[in-house]
Structure 1
Amino acid sequence: METAIYPPEFDSDTPLQNVLTWRIHQVHNRLNVHAAKFLEKTSGIALAHWRVMLCIGADGNTTHSEIRRKIAMDKGQLSRCLKGMVDEGLVVTQEDAADQRQQRLSLTKKGRRIFDKTLPEMRKRQSYLIGRLSKSESRMIFSALDKLEVAAQNHEFL
Structure 2
Amino acid sequence: MQNALYLLIVCASGIFFFQACQPVPTESSSLGLASIVLEDTNGWVLRVQADGSAELLHQYIRLESVNWPSKTFAFTQLRLLPAFAPRTQETYPYRWTYCSHAENDTRQYGLPDTAWGAAWFEKAYRALDEVELSPRTVRKLRKNWENQPPPGVAVR
Band the TM-score falls in, shorter-chain normalisation: under 0.3
TM-score (norm 2): 0.26
Higher relative contact order (CA 8 A, sep 6+): 2
Higher strand share: 2
Computing the radius of gyration over CA atoms, which structure comes out larger, 1 or 2?
A: 2
TM-score (norm 1): 0.26
